[in-house]
Amino acid sequence: MHAWRSSLQVRIGAITMVVAGTVVIIVSLVLFSQIRDQLLSVKRQAAIDQAQSGVLDAQNEVDGIATGDASSVRATLARTVTALQQSGGAAGDFDVVMIYRSGDTEVPGTSRAFIYQALPADLRADVDAGNQSYRYAEIPDDTGEPRASLVIGAPVQGDTASTEQIELYYVFPLTQEAESLALIRSTVVISGLALTMFVVGIGVLVTRLVVDPVRRAAGTAQRLAEGQLEERMIVRGEDDLARLATSFNAMADSLQRQITQLEGLSQLQQRFTSDVSHELRTPLTTVQMAAEVLHEARGDFAPHVARSAELLSAELDRFERLLTDLLEISRYDAGVATLEAESTNLGALVARVAAGMYSLAERHGCELTVDRPEEGVFAEVDARRVERILRNLVGNAIEHGAGRPVEITLAANRTAAAVTVRDHGVGLSSADAQHVFDRFWRADPSRVRSVGGSGLGLSISLEDARLHGGWLQVWGQPGAGAQFRLTLPLTDGGELTSSPLPLRPLVIRSPGSPA
């Protein structure tokens, strides 16, 4: 079944074998039937002609047969049978049976034993009615074994009394015809098998001529997909397959040029982001020092100047976080981010994140709850990155929770640990859920950030989760809140197959229900 599904050549070969075999069988049956009918027809016609000639000879022999004298009748029948058998004929070997019947008494004369008793009853009835007829029947040979034979019977007209009747039967063995048909049958079978295999071979060969270039194209495409952009197909001839190879190579050239251009642009963008982030560090440090001086001396300023100093300090802090996030995302883009995994108690880490977020939750008037196992949940993770993921998720949940409770849940199984962060705020639509991890994406652009994020938090969190070999997923429903789920393998390099916690909450509050 695997070969049937995966190999076009196998399917075409099998279909060709079935079709060719069916055609060969039908043609062979029709041909064999016609040969058999023709062979038997020739045999039957020759036998009938010989039987008719024998009837005329038998009439001359039995004229004046002494009726009532059993010994004379037997002698006459034996003499007539011997004469008829010695006369031969074009129908081949045969046996002769003559039966003299007077009332209920029958006197047979036969050239060979066992034949008289084996004559078909329906044939004898036809002959008794005065008809010449024939039958195919099984007649015993010298050893008593039945063999196919053609039996022809006819009445012999003589000058005997009306109550007496003489019947003549010719028995022609069909041994030679059976041997000929067996030879023809074996020849037809062998020829049919050879013809079928020949047709299948041609089909497989033609299919291979077509499939091999396609397989080479598939292999080349696979290597191109793996990054070997210099791979090309070999062009032979000028047929359709050659044009396919030429078009494939042209497509590969175009893809290589475009991918090279995109790689160059990506590298340029990464280098630009990294260079700008580094270069901004020095002036930002200077401005921050000046802002700190102004912020510490804001009590000596006029109220509007003091407020400006506070705003300057807050925005500079936000600017510093944005630069930090840009540097982090540039590391992921460059593929140089590394994981420093060590055994970490995730329960303690979740508690630490929640404790750091209590003040923010109080400012937004929402309750922050943590549900975690009493025993420790240990996993080989980079604690700094996991803590950053959870801070981003909890901060977003508080900001978008509309003052309703935010629930943090930790659970684990034998291979994985999961943390869910659930809020009951504005929620997410299915379209929003597809873009929530995009860089600088906001569901409502007019909404003002109260936490002061950079817009890269969820993007960095997703990369942190992938670096661990984990999942970061989201569920949302407008008006019913959202839930983020972080799933991590317990061992470094482990593979995830399932999560200990469901992505969709088990209980969903309807919009407008009290917190």
CATH code of the domain in which 274 resides = 1.10.287.130
Domain residue limits at 304 = 255-331
No. of helices (H) and no. of strands (E), the chain: 12, 12
**Cβ pair 468, 385 in contact under 8 A:** yes
Same domain, 362 and 317: no
Within a domain: 482: yes
DSSP-assigned beta bridge partners for residue 101:
106, 165
Of residues 262, 328, 276, the one with CA closest to residue 463? 328
Out of 331, 356, 377, pick the residue that ends a domain.
Answer: 331
- Copy the structure tokens of residue 486: 């972080």
Same domain, 157 and 306: no
Of residues 367, 433, 429, 430, the one with CA closest to residue 394? 367
**Cβ pair 486, 408 in contact under 8 A:** no
Same domain, 475 and 360: yes
Among the residues of 297-364, which ranges form H helices? Answer: 303-334, 346-363
Query: What is the helix (H) or strand (E) element at residue 211, kind and residue range?
Result: helix 175-225
DSSP annotation of 110 = E
Within a domain: 197: no
CATH code of the domain in which 33 resides = 3.30.450.20
Split into its structural domains, the chain has a count of 3
SS3 state at 419: strand
Q: Which residue, chain included where needed, has tokens 């030429």?
A: 246
pLDDT score for 326: 65
Same domain, 349 and 321: no
- Copy the structure tokens of residue 128: 């008794």
Is the torsion defined by CA of 431, 432, 434, 438 positive or negative?
Answer: positive
**Cβ pair 454, 475 in contact under 8 A:** no
Within a domain: 243: no
Within a domain: 170: yes
Long-range contacts of 261-269 (CB under 8 A, 24+ apart): 266/333, 269/333
Burial 167-205 (b: 16+ CB within 10 A, else e): bbbbbbbbeebeeebeeeeeebeeebeebbeebbeebbe
Same domain, 291 and 143: no
Within a domain: 95: yes
Same domain, 322 and 393: no
Same domain, 263 and 392: no
pLDDT score for 416: 92
Out of 301, 331, 361, pick the residue that ends a domain.
Answer: 331
Within a domain: 303: yes
Type of residue found at 434: Q
Within a domain: 219: no
Same domain, 424 and 302: no
Same domain, 173 and 277: no
Please state the pTM of the whole predicted model: 0.46
Same domain, 165 and 293: no
Within a domain: 494: no
Out of 281, 304, 331, pick the residue that ends a domain.
Answer: 331
The C-alpha atoms of residue 460 and residue 446 are separated, in whole angstroms, by 23
Q: Which residue, chain included where needed, has tokens 């028995």?
A: 171
Same domain, 68 and 119: yes
Per-residue pLDDT of the chain (515 residues; tens, 9 = 90+): 887 777 777 888 888 888 988 998 999 889 888 988 888 888 888 888 888 888 888 877 776 565 556 777 778 878 888 888 777 777 778 888 888 887 777 778 887 777 888 888 888 888 888 888 888 888 887 777 888 888 988 888 765 555 678 888 888 888 888 888 889 889 888 988 898 888 888 888 888 877 787 788 888 888 888 878 788 888 877 777 788 888 888 888 888 888 888 777 767 766 766 666 666 767 777 877 887 878 788 777 888 888 888 888 777 777 776 767 666 666 666 666 677 889 999 999 999 999 988 988 888 888 899 999 888 889 999 888 898 889 889 988 888 888 889 999 999 998 999 999 999 888 888 878 887 887 777 655 545 444 445 567 788 888 888 888 899 999 988 888 899 999 999 988 888 888 999 988 876 665 455 54
Among the residues of 63-87, which ranges form H helices? Answer: 70-87
Same domain, 122 and 269: no
CATH code of the domain in which 345 resides = 3.30.565.10
pLDDT score for 339: 78
DSSP annotation of 138 = E
**Cβ pair 139, 8 in contact under 8 A:** no
Q: Left (φ > 0), alpha (ψ -120 to 50) or beta: where does 237 sit?
A: left
pLDDT score for 176: 85
The C-alpha atoms of residue 449 and residue 471 are separated, in whole angstroms, by 26
